[in-house]
């Protein structure tokens, strides 16, 4: 249940499928900033987004999903 401690949970540790949002955003920016993508953010832990140099907003439901959208956008421009 939300807000209740789980048996065996270690305080301060993420669960298996939780993402370190700050680290993921930093890696996405590091990988794509020179390709013209900026404004990386995550909204309410579920919508990952970036803005292309042509002001298009790209989104994904996970960091990997956003990376795939950016990669497809970038390849279409080549």
Q: Supply the range of the domain harboring residue 29.
A: 21-77
Residue 1: per-residue pLDDT = 44
Count of domains observed in the chain: 1
In this predicted model, what pLDDT tens digit does every residue of 25-72 receive, in sequence order? 999 999 999 999 999 999 988 899 999 999 999 999 999 999 999 999
Q: Considering the domain boundaries, does residue 8 fall inside one?
A: no
Residue 2: per-residue pLDDT = 47
Q: Considering the domain boundaries, does residue 10 fall inside one?
A: no
Specify the pTM: 0.77
Q: Considering the domain boundaries, does residue 55 fall inside one?
A: yes
Q: Considering the domain boundaries, does residue 34 fall inside one?
A: yes
Out of 7-11, 17-21, 24-28, 53-57, least confident range = 7-11
Nearest 10 degrees: Cα torsion 72, 34, 27, 67? -10
In degrees, to the nearest 5, what angle opens at C-alpha 61 toward C-alphas 10 and 16?
A: 20
Give the strand pairing for 47-51 and 57-60: antiparallel
Q: Considering the domain boundaries, does residue 52 fall inside one?
A: yes
Residue 44: per-residue pLDDT = 86
């Amino acid at each position: 249940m939300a807000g209740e401690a789980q048996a065996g949970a270690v305080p301060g540790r993420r669960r298996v499928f939780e993402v370190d949002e700050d680290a993921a955003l930093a890696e996405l920016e590091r990988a794509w900033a020179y390709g013209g993508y900026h404004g990386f953010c995550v909204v309410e832990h579920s919508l990952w987004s970036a803005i292309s140099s042509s002001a298009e907003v790209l989104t994904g439901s996970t960091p990997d999903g956003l990376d795939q959208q950016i990669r497809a956008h970038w390849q279409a421009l080549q």
